[in-house]
Amino acid sequence: MNIITISREFGSGGRELGKRIADALGYAYYDREIITAIAEKHEMNEHYVENVLENGFPTAFPISYGRTFSFTDVAGQHAIDLLSTQCTLLKELAARENCVIVGRSANVILEEYNPLNIFVYADLESKIKRCRERASENESLTDNEMKKKFKQIDAGRAKHQRFLSDAKWGDKSGYHMCINTSGLVIKNIAPVVADFAKHYFECI
């Protein structure tokens, strides 16, 4: 199967880019659906599951994906149970069909599938602008509050990957393509990235 993983800074447009690439290639697209499936399996609230997966890992506990998950602390074990379910689910999706998967450290979890790994980033001004354009009417964060949100969410994503791999989140050596979306229109660059993906899968 052909697998594309999208890692992204919050506000960089990675989610939109992933969806447009999937549509261009006729691939399945997975994003929030992963959290929903995990929450349903464990009969938990989606927001709780998302929060635990992004922030609930014990930082002092070293682990490499592929080892047996074990932890004596109840909260830590809870987080590991959710992570284990996520790893299993991602592998099931990857084995089922060609797909684009956004986030969830899919680039390291699905390494054996030789996925095309993409990292999407942007400058602060572009991220703030993009978030404001997509914000609901009742959202009124200041620029400083947005900056804090960016740092918090991206730190959680980096922490999630550190729990699974020595590969550093956002380090160009861990990706086949790094895309700076600053000042760019996502729908205009998606076809170019889709063409690159076609070439990548023809070569592997």
- List, for residues 143-193, the tens digit of each pLDDT value: 999 999 999 999 999 988 988 899 999 999 999 999 999 999 999 999 999
Q: According to the model, what pLDDT value does residue 137 have?
A: 75
**Residue 57 tokens, joined:** 């890992």
Q: Do residues 149 and 141 touch, judged by C-beta distance below 8 A?
A: yes
User: Mean pLDDT score of the chain, rounded to an integer?
Assistant: 89
Q: According to the model, what pLDDT value does residue 68 have?
A: 46
* CATH top class, domain 3-182: alpha beta
Please, is 185 exposed, middle or buried when counting C-beta atoms within 10 Å of its C-beta (0-12, 13-18, 19+)? exposed
Please, is 189 exposed, middle or buried when counting C-beta atoms within 10 Å of its C-beta (0-12, 13-18, 19+)? middle
Q: According to the model, what pLDDT value does residue 140 have?
A: 83
Q: According to the model, what pLDDT value does residue 187 have?
A: 97
Backbone angles phi, psi at 62, to 5 degrees: -75, 135
Write the DSSP symbol of residue 113: G
- Which tens digits make up the pLDDT trace of 66-118? 444 444 455 567 788 899 999 999 999 999 999 999 999 999 999 999 999 99
**Residue 159 tokens, joined:** 């922490």
